Amino acid sequence: MKKSLSAQAIARFHRDGYLIIPHWVTGSQLETLQRVAINALALPQQPLELEAELGYPGSPSSTDKMGGDTVRRLQGAYQRNQQWQQWARSPEMKKVLQQLFDNPHILLSQAHHNCLMTKSPKHSSDTGWHQDTRYWSFEQPRLINSWLALGKEQPQNGGMWVIPGSHRLSFTEQQFDAAVFFREDMGINKPLINQATPVLLEPGDLLLFDARLLHKASRNLTDRTKYSLVFTYHDSSNHPLSGSRSSALPEIDLGS
């Protein structure tokens, strides 16, 4: 059992806004999660999000065009099967989040992420620089995403890029476009974007990142689908705003 993070790892997370924990899931547990993901995408059930619904660069122009049924993510992952539930609220996950939040009481948001994120070899899209808090409504923007790589992740198959330390910066509205993507064409943004680094993950590696961290991902240019299991957490000192999308679904209490 992975019981705790070192003081150095905790400091690195707060400095950079992300942390990679290699080999978090291995062996039969990884094989089970991979099999569940492949089967779920083979016969996708609602709720789900299609690439064509977003209109990002590279995606099909509409749902009735070639590739229009390409799934971007299967939503509501926590309620889909027991294996994903057990992963999302495992004692090991709770322990690590308790350390990073410095709070014993952790909650999982079913309203945000809570999904199997995929990138298809065909008809996948580019996602621009953004912070995951852009459409979220909490008392504080302090949330952490867990991203479990079920296969290899690298820039070629749509793996993530991040800007280390960007979660600690303040930005003006003008630095983002109308869709709240960080503008790559703006001079003041370019020195920061030049600091971007790819997140390289092997199957079973866990990426934890602050929801304020600027990140992006390209389309999948390989011949194999990429699968990632993604959940969002916060601590008991932070609450979704009443009446917002963030409060639309009940939260899962991991206990204290």
Q: Identify whether 21 is part of a domain.
A: yes
Q: The CATH number of the domain where 124 resides is what?
A: 2.60.120.620
Strands 71-75 and 18-21, bridge-based pairing: unpaired
Q: Identify whether 35 is part of a domain.
A: yes
| Contact (Cβ atoms closer than 8 angstroms) between residue 90 and residue 1 | no
Q: What pLDDT does residue 180 have?
A: 96
| Contact (Cβ atoms closer than 8 angstroms) between residue 115 and residue 76 | yes
How many domains are there within the chain? 1
Instruction: Per-residue pLDDT tens, the chain, 256 aa: give them.
Output: 456 899 999 999 999 999 999 999 999 999 999 999 999 999 999 999 999 999 899 888 878 678 899 999 999 999 999 999 999 999 999 999 999 999 999 999 999 999 999 999 989 999 999 999 998 999 999 999 999 999 999 999 999 999 999 999 999 999 999 999 999 999 999 999 999 999 999 999 999 999 999 999 999 999 999 999 999 999 999 999 999 999 999 999 998 7
Q: Identify whether 2 is part of a domain.
A: no
Q: What pLDDT does residue 255 have?
A: 82
Q: Identify whether 148 is part of a domain.
A: yes
Which residues are registered as beta bridge partners of 162? 197, 215
Q: What pLDDT does residue 65 have?
A: 76
Tell me the residue range of the domain where 61 lies.
7-253
- Specify the pTM: 0.96
Q: Identify whether 31 is part of a domain.
A: yes
Q: What pLDDT does residue 63 have?
A: 80
Q: Identify whether 1 is part of a domain.
A: no
Q: Could you tell me which of 162, 154, 160 has the C-alpha nearest to residue 222?
A: 154
Q: What pLDDT does residue 67 have?
A: 87
Q: Identify whether 135 is part of a domain.
A: yes
Q: What is the 3-state secondary structure (H, E, C) of the chain?
A: CCCCCCHHHHHHHHHHCEEEECCCCCHHHHHHHHHHHHHHHHCCCCCEEEHHHHCCCCCCCCCCCCCCCCEEEEECHHHCCHHHHHHHCCHHHHHHHHHHHCCCCEEEECCCCCEEEEECCCCCCCEEEECHHHHCCECCCCCEEEEEECCCECHHHCCEEECCCHHHCCCCHHHECCCCCECCCCHHHHHHHCCCEECCECCCCEEEEECCCCEEECCCCCCCCEEEEEEEEEECCCCECCCCHHHCCCCEECCC
Q: What is the 3-state secondary structure (H, E, C) of 113-181?
A: CCEEEEECCCCCCCEEEECHHHHCCECCCCCEEEEEECCCECHHHCCEEECCCHHHCCCCHHHECCCCC
